[in-house]
């Protein structure tokens, strides 16, 4: 039995703030009530602000980020259409797998895990596609499995340089609401997120923004869809409702989550995540270990994947940390299974909370014989947080 609260430091689900939790814990309500549009319309309008989107539409489907992927593909593409993607981690791989299973022709580039979207390769493939056979370009902004963040704006630049008309689609499941995402500025056509990460909610919502170009493409796309049909959702949203029973408690929580992010200010949110992430990176250096991300250009500000020395199994570390200290860390997936453990540092989080994760990971490693010195990671993170005054931590109230 664990006494006290457990430490949740996986890269999703993340901690739920108290005011969000209270917003969810409400009596059931009539989802066809005549005053519901007074809640739904402003909610969807303000949701667009988190994506920094002004020209498109926000959509919220009951589901997860994977449901959002499927909605993106089936609404805008037809069987046999070609899409360009890259595979450099488990979640970019799963997106490719989904595309193949719904009948798309996926031209994908395999990239070393620990690196991200290969801008030069994308540029070359797009420039060579004179017939514009590629209908969509897929970008995983933050590869959760390896702690790698990629350059979405760089992909848009490559598309512009090639004069390519393909749709730009972004997996922002573990990035949107935590790190900078500029839908309009970067010319993104579809962005997909999920409720359980930067939005600080339970899992259960596929949160999306779609451009006018993507909506227009949905009118002629021939892929089968029903539950995830943009047409049905947009028509119902225009009236302030949903085409089927919506998860109202989660939507009530989403309202508070959006308010928290906007009150803190998106720039402050992004600075806070960078600051917290840098403290974790300092701890990893203090331990004498390395990140899965191969270079600082790839470092993620929402999750760090830490490589264990040869001979140690991260699965054993996760089990020990949970059973001995009540600490949940993320494990390695697929190609990095057993080789890395992950510290999620996104959502409702501050320095003291993150120091507990660093301390728990450090104790767990020492318990299992990993050669790290007592206090080495904790002290490195402490000194960074103490001395770095460039971005003071400012949290929205949880009360």
Q: What is the pLDDT of residue 15?
A: 96
Query: What are 314's two structure tokens?
Result: 């991260």
| Residues making up the chain, counted from first to last | 399
Residue 76: which domain range? Answer: 18-263
Q: What is the pLDDT of residue 397?
A: 41
Same-domain status, 197 and 299: no
Instruction: Indicate whether 395 belongs to any domain.
Output: no
Instruction: Indicate whether 2 belongs to any domain.
Output: no
Which residue, 214, 245, 263, sits at the end of a domain? 263
When divided into structural domains, the chain yields a total of: 2
Q: What is the pLDDT of residue 252?
A: 98
Instruction: Indicate whether 366 belongs to any domain.
Output: yes
Same-domain status, 126 and 232: yes
Same-domain status, 270 and 311: yes
**184 closest CA partner among 51, 75, 50:** 51
Q: What is the pLDDT of residue 388?
A: 83
Q: What is the DSSP string of 326-383?
A: -EEEEEP-GGGTTTEEEEE--SS--HHHHHHHHHHHHHHHHHTT----TTHHHHHHHH
Q: What is the pLDDT of residue 1?
A: 63
Same-domain status, 349 and 374: yes
Q: What is the dihedral of CA 258, 263, 269, 272, to 10 degrees?
A: -140
Q: What is the pLDDT of residue 2?
A: 63
Which residue, 230, 263, 296, sits at the end of a domain? 263
How far out from the chain centre does Cα 261 lie?
A: 15
Query: What are 333's two structure tokens?
Result: 């997936």
Query: What are 369's two structure tokens?
Result: 């014989």
Instruction: Find out whether 17 and 348 touch, Cβ atoms under 8 Å.
Output: yes
Residues contacting 64, CB < 8 A, separation 6+: 194, 196, 203, 204, 205, 206
pLDDT beneath 70, residues of the chain: 1-2, 390-399
Same-domain status, 270 and 222: no
pTM: 0.96
Q: What is the pLDDT of residue 5?
A: 80
Instruction: Let me know if 165 is exposed, middle or buried by CB neighbors in 10 A (0-12, 13-18, 19+).
Output: exposed
């Amino acid at each position: 039995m664990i006494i006290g609260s457990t430490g949740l430091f996986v890269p999703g689900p993340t901690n739920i703030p108290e005011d969000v939790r209270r917003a969810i814990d409400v009596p059931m309500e009539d989802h066809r009530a005549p005053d519901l549009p007074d809640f739904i319309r402003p909610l969807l309008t303000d949701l667009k602000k988190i994506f920094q989107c002004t020209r498109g539409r926000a959509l919220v489907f009951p589901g997860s980020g994977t449901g959002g992927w499927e909605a993106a593909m089936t609404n805008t593409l037809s069987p046999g259409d070609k899409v360009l993607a890259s595979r450099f981690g488990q979640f970019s791989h799963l997106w490719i797998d989904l595309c193949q299973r719904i009948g798309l022709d996926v031209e994908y580039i395999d990239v070393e895990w620990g690196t991200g979207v290969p801008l030069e390769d994308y540029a070359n493939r797009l420039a060579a596609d004179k017939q514009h056979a590629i209908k969509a370009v897929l970008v995983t902004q933050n590869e959760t499995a390896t702690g790698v963040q990629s350059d979405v704006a760089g992909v848009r630049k490559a598309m512009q340089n090639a004069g390519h008309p393909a749709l730009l689609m972004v997996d922002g499941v573990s990035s949107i609401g935590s790190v900078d995402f500029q839908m309009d500025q970067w010319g993104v056509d579809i962005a997909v997120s999920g409720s359980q990460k930067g939005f600080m909610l339970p899992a259960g919502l596929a949160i999306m923004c779609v451009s006018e170009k993507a909506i227009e493409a949905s009118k002629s796309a021939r892929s089968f869809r029903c539950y995830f049909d943009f047409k049905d959702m947009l028509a119902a949203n225009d009236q302030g409702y949903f085409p089927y029973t919506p998860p109202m408690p989660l939507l009530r929580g989403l309202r508070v989550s959006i308010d928290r992010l906007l009150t803190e200010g998106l720039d402050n949110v992004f600075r806070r995540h960078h600051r917290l992430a840098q403290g974790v990176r300092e701890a990893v250096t203090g331990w004498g270990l390395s990140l899965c991300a191969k270079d600082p250009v790839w470092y993620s500000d929402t999750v760090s994947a830490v490589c264990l020395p040869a001979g140690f199994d991260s699965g054993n570390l996760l089990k020990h940390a949970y059973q001995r200290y009540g600490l949940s860390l993320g494990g390695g997936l697929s190609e990095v299974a057993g080789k890395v453990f992950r510290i999620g540092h996104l959502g409702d989080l501050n320095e003291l909370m993150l120091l507990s994760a660093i301390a728990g990971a450090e104790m767990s490693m020492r318990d299992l014989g990993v050669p790290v010195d007592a206090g080495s990671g904790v002290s490195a993170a402490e000194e960074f947080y103490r001395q770095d005054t460039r971005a003071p931590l400012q949290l929205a109230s949880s009360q």
